[in-house]
Amino acid sequence: MNEENITIHFELDPKHLPTTDWSRFDAMTEQERHAAALSDPDALPASEEQLVRAYRVPDVRTLRRKLNLTQEQFARRFQLSLGALRDWEQGRNQPDHAARTLLRVIEFNPDVVEKALQHA
């Protein structure tokens, strides 16, 4: 197995959240913070090649609010599952490739998407 592709998921216990002492961080200059960040092998910045390959998931909640729609209105207008929309907004799930594409088009021109769906 390629270690580069391993993803580990875990959930924090809300009753026992870790505490962070920010005093050392607050005492650092911006340059010291940047150097410390670069020295962490588990959190290296993405390369240009990695950024180009990365897919960007539209922020559904921001898009919906920009259109001044409730979740129910957004789902109905663009023929999306209300449950899926809620899952996307709450981070329980990510839109698949087709849904990401639709969301990008909605972001670009929601009226055209609505018109096209009315003729489907």
- pLDDT tens, 25-44? 999 999 999 999 889 988 88
Q: What is the pLDDT of residue 58?
A: 82
Q: What is the pLDDT of residue 50?
A: 87
Q: What is the pLDDT of residue 2?
A: 54
Higher pLDDT, 32 or 55: 32
pLDDT > 70? residue 4: no
Q: How far apart (Å, rounded) are the C-alpha atoms in residues 112 and 5?
A: 38
pLDDT > 60? residue 111: yes
Q: Measured between alpha carbons, how far is residue 56 from residues 53, 94, 101, 104 in Å?
A: 10, 11, 10, 10
Q: What is the pLDDT of residue 42?
A: 87
Q: Does 60-118 carry CATH code 3.90.45.10?
A: no
Beta carbons of 95 and 57 less than 8 angstroms apart: yes
Read off the pTM. Answer: 0.57
Q: What is the pLDDT of residue 77?
A: 96
Higher pLDDT, 57 or 39: 39
Q: What is the pLDDT of residue 27?
A: 95
